Structure 1
Amino acid sequence: MSKEQPNNPLHGIKLATILEELYLEYGWEELGYALNINAFKNNPTYKSSLKFLRTTPWAREKVEQFYVKNMID
């Protein structure tokens, strides 16, 4: 039932995977600075950051764009 999405570089990649890879590569401090998202600046945890991104569309979009720009090539 799932159709291929050749123009979507994030197809098949879960938000949790994106966040984990970005955290391992950059850390909370650098992510907070690069994306200017308070959830990454003020006492961040993986669980709280993931919850925030799932409920805040503008932040999720910022993180996804950052991931595509810096992690996919």
Structure 2
Amino acid sequence: MNKEQPNNPLHGVKLADILEHLVDFYGWEVLGERIRIRCFNDNPSIKSSLVFLRKTPWAREKVENLYLKTPK
């Protein structure tokens, strides 16, 4: 059941860790400018953003793509 995914750079990385890294690197204001979704611009929090991103595949994809482009 535990298959390796050598071509998936996000394998083993939790969405919460991705979001925390982006917030630490960019801050909420810049993150909200780069990805225009309400949970980043109006009273942002990690918890509310995670709820939204787990329900919204297109927004999660944008966040994951930005994470892949962001220096670690």
TM-score of Structure 1 vs Structure 2, range by shorter chain: over 0.9
1:28-47 equivalences in 2 (<5 Å): 28-47=28-47
User: 2: distance between equivalents of 1:31 and 1:10?
Assistant: 19
Q: Which amino acid aligns with 2:8?
A: N
Q: Which residue of 1 aligns with 2:11?
A: 11
Q: Which residue of 2 aligns with 1:59?
A: 59
SS in 1 for 2:52: helix
SS in 1 for 2:70: helix
Deviation at 1:12? 0.3
**Overall identity of the aligned pairs, in %:** 64
* TM-score normalised by L of structure 1: 0.91
User: 2: distance between equivalents of 1:5 and 1:50?
Assistant: 24
User: 1: distance between equivalents of 2:19 and 2:71?
Assistant: 11
Q: CA RMSD in A?
A: 1.1
**What 5-or-longer segments of structure 2 have no aligned partner?**
none
User: 2: distance between equivalents of 1:24 and 1:69?
Assistant: 15
Q: Which runs of 4+ in 1 moved over 6 A?
A: none
Q: Which amino acid aligns with 1:3?
A: K
Aligned residues: 72
Q: Which amino acid aligns with 1:29?
A: E
**What 5-or-longer segments of structure 1 have no aligned partner?**
none
